[in-house]
Structure 1
């Protein structure tokens, strides 16, 4: 049954405008059921699994109740982990982007306390945090709960599993009695039932039946691919697949732009969608994609929300998503209406652990595949050309060129020679230049085999609903297309505007620092700066050695690139 549009749920024009900008077309079942109840002020017990859209279900009505003339906490959202707290706070900002004076802050352990103290002291309306750190602020007097009107427990059962029972009960006991409480949980465990009984006021239960997390007709596989090899491997797979329509998902706007430009340079019909694309341009891109004018669409998760295009043959996870929920959303774009579909993911290094989390979440094994060689791709392209020629011969769809053929025969060329040259010309006209990648030079026996990975224990474990990201060292950029285990990105303060060339930069790095072979990876020139991928064990030494150096008579800065927030999707 189709849910009503957002405009019929009682939301303000500002919230509806934010929803439209984010690309949501219709609310999910839990959003359609929970938002009107929450707007009416009722307490809620939402029983729903990850991936149902529950964050917007409690965030939109929460935002609708805020008084922006007050710079004090009015809503508190508790989450089991710091990663989820950050994600939820980002969603609060996105959904409240049209409200003007919204101030929300995430508070969690492992982050500097002084920054959180400063934010709370400056005044916020929404606090999103983990139980332990929220209680720390409450005990030291930096978090005033007397004005809290709404409390949300996101993944309440998960917080109980992690041992936060005492903190949750102490915190809930200190909140004003006249408040709205919204509990969201995947299961109605004994612990959740106890919390509801003590701290909720006759809540309305909203239960969403869990659907299959992945479509059985989707063939799922992954390739172990270094960051600098991704475009080449993607190109080979596109040539092998010959998909009519495909979506390529990236984690950041920068990654979308770089992938799109690389594919355009290789002759593919491709366009992009991310947060900087205007609504008018978005509609035009989607129309061309639906019509098949463009065959490839490169997009971020936010830009692809609400995307409804039929007949998508394959989905590529160019960057593996941080959250298994996003993986399910992505691959669900293919294999619709009972048709078969294919989902391909690129992983490397520590990302393999994230892949295993996705397997446990989806309860399906994702098959490992070997990167196709240049010879395999060329063979596939030759087979496709042969099939097309046979089809045209059988249908009689060709023009007669007897005169030209006779002239060649008279000059002593055999029919086999003539056909061979024509096949070669056809392949050259459709083919492209291949790039050699390190994966081509590796012995497959040296790579991790599927049997080296633990199977998901018949998937009998209690499914996890939130996953911590791998800790990142101080040298690594938080997000971006160079986030591989063996390389880190460096910021270089000279770019195209200064007349520098890629070869000059690489030559200087090797010459001045005495780097080992393979230490410098991808170099991307921008207008007034460059981004250089360097092997992690050489990066610090290179930064130190380069201090005070110059190129083309210009002093430059070489330092670790942590990536501006504006580049994130």
Structure 2
């Protein structure tokens, strides 16, 4: 359904400013139907599937009715799990970012209750929590319900299924009678209806029809890919089937930055979106993406919210999402408006179990495929070049080079030699260097057999110690080099990697981890090429800046 803009829903200016800064373009159907009646103070029943945008559907009306001058609990949001309570509280802070002084406190089991005591004593406008812990605070007197104006039951059916009925009834009975109650649920079963009949005051019901969790036109597959091989596999996928527009989803801002820099260094038209991108820059990136100037967008889930572009042909889950709902949101970016689409996920080790959980949630199989080999990619590129040449020969407007061809034939070259050389030149101009990855040397069946024998999985490098890498290492040991260029020199990791590969002619994978500090950086280089690179560095400069490159003799890579 077509929905009106947020500006027509009756929201106050600070909330509209926050919505705009977060990049929401138009409200979802459940938001458009729920917000106006909720703003009037009426009770409401919102029936909508998980992942339809219902959090903002109740959060915005809650924030619109908050009196910031009154630092006491005015709204309570009940959630079935602490994970959801934490997410909802974060959403309250995001949507209330323009409300100076707003305080929201999450309270749930499994977290230190003394911290929650302190937070509630300091004052809160909104309390978000699980029924058991919220009831505990009511009984202890740390939560005063007298000023509560709104109570929201998020995923009411799920809370009832989890056995919270008695707690929910006790909580609702303890709330002021003149409060507003918002019930949000994916289903309207007998238990939910009983709760609404008992505690609702002639609530208005809004309902969004259940939709399929996945779109039938989306082709879903998964590749078993190690962390260090992901950039190479992304490159191969983009080379095999060029999509007009593609989105690569990462779980963290750091992954977004690393993936973007690596793809830029390989020559792809790519840009990024994450929470640190300003609104002005976000709008610029999205316009370039819509116009096709940027063909690949690397983004986090938060940054991609509100993205409404129909021409996206490929979605890649660079990192598999933790929540099956997020998977549905991501792949739903493609296959829109009757178009076909493709969704690819990278998994490895324990993530395979998470992928199976996603399949159960969506009730749709995700096909396992083997990573395309270098030979497959090169063959596909050659086929595409052949088709382009054939199409050009069929056109009537290509320029004539008969004189140049005659000169080559006079020098003894055959027509076959000329055509072969032209093909090679075109291939080199449009191609790139391939990196060999461990997945090229393995068959998926071998990996499955190893898992069946319960061999230990490849250990993961701790997240806080991960460093940026230019690609999988070549055979042999790596040695650290010191470079006098750092963050204050205005250089980026991609600049250094591109300079060393392009000017020193190093083979792909000769450069390993690159650690950038304020005044210098440490670069891991294959030992057999380290001396060559140090010698050539004396003749290099980066944007006119000379630098020192030598073996790193300092502790921990710092001189």
Q: Give secondary structure in 2 for the equivalent of 1:25.
A: coil
Query: 2:223–2:370: 8 Å Cα contact kept in structure 1?
Result: yes
Determine if contact 1:58/1:182 at 8 Å carries over to the other structure.
yes
Structure 1 residue 434 corresponds to structure 2 residue 434? yes
CA drift at 1:304? 2.1
- Paired with 1:56 and 1:228, the residues of 2 have a C-alpha distance of 37
Match of 2:480 among 501, 504, 511: 504
Corresponding position of 1:50: 50
Q: For 1:215, what is the secondary structure of its paired residue?
A: coil
- Aligned pair in 2 of structure 1 residues 68, 269: CA closer, same or farther (>3 Å)? same
**CA apart distance, 1:505:** 8.0
- Give how far 1:492 is off: 8.7
Residue 275 of structure 1 is matched in structure 2 by 275
Aligned residues: 487
Report 1 or 2 for greater relative contact order, CA contacts < 8 Å, sequence distance ≥ 6: 1
Q: Is 2:478 the partner of 1:488?
A: no
Structure-2 residue corresponding to 1:321: 321
Q: Which moved more, 1:231-240 or 1:311-320?
A: 311-320
Alignment of 1:98-247 (within 5 A): 98-247=98-247
Q: Indicate if the aligned counterparts of 1:263 and 1:270 stay in contact, CA closer than 8 A.
A: yes
Cα distance in structure 1, aligned partners of 2:123 and 2:410: 90
1:525 is the counterpart of 2:515: yes
Contact 1:523/1:530 (CA < 8 Å) preserved in 2? no
Deviates more, 1:304-313 or 1:83-92: 304-313
Q: 1:359 to 1:205 in 2, by over 3 A?
A: same
Calculate the TM-score normalised by the size of structure 1. Answer: 0.80
User: Comparing 96-105 with 216-225, which one deviates more in the overlay?
Assistant: 216-225
TM-score under structure 2 normalisation?
A: 0.81
Give per-residue Cα distances to partners, 1:168-197, cap 9 Å, x unaligned.
222222222221111111111121122112
Q: Could you tell me whether the CA contact under 8 Å between 2:467 and 2:515 is conserved in 1? A: no
Q: Tell me: CA distance 1:234–1:531, structure 2 relative to 1, closer, same or farther (3 Å).
A: farther
1:379-394 to structure 2, matched below 5 A, reads 379-394=379-394
Q: C-alpha offsets along residues 37-72 of structure 1, whole Å, 9 cap, x if unaligned? A: 111111111111112211111101111111222222
Cα 1:334/1:136, change in 2 over 3 Å: same
Secondary structure in 1 matching 2:205: strand
Deviation at 1:13, TM superposition (A): 0.4
Post-superposition shift, 1:493?
11
- Cα 1:213–1:129 change in 2 (3 A) is same
CA contact (8 A) 1:105 1:119 kept: yes
Contact 1:489-1:532 within 8 A present in 2 as well? no
Q: After alignment, is 238-247 or 197-206 more displaced?
A: 197-206
Judged with a 3 Å threshold, the aligned counterparts in structure 2 of structure 1 residues 532 and 214 are, in CA distance, closer, same or farther, namely farther
Q: How far apart, CA to CA, are the structure 2 residues paired with 1:196 and 1:139? A: 24
* Partner residue in 2 for 1:564: none
1:464-486 deviations in Å (ceiling 9; x for gaps): xxxxxxxxxxxxxxxxxxxx973
**Contact map agreement 1:359 1:365 (CA 8 A) in 2:** yes
Mapping of residues 389-468 of structure 1, within 5 Å: 389-448=389-448
Residue 34 and residue 53 in structure 1: after superposition, are their counterparts in 2 closer, same or farther (change >3 A)?
Answer: same
Cα drift, residue 232 of structure 1: 0.7
Unaligned runs of 5+ in 1: 453-483, 495-501, 507-520, 534-550, 558-569
User: How far apart are 1:554 and its partner, in Å?
Assistant: 4.9
Q: 1:206: Cα distance to partner? A: 1.4
Aligned to 1:477: none
Superposed displacement of residue 141, structure 1 = 3.0
| Cα distance between partner residues in 1 of 2:329 and 2:522 | 31
CA distance in 2, matches of 1:553, 1:114: 45
Equivalent residue of 1:343, what SS?
A: strand
- How much has 1:447 moved relative to structure 2? 2.7
> Contact 1:289 / 1:297 at 8 angstroms: preserved in 2?
yes
Change over 3 Å in CA distance of 1:46–1:369 after alignment to 2? same
Question: CA–CA distance in 1 between the matches of 2:394 and 2:311?
Answer: 28
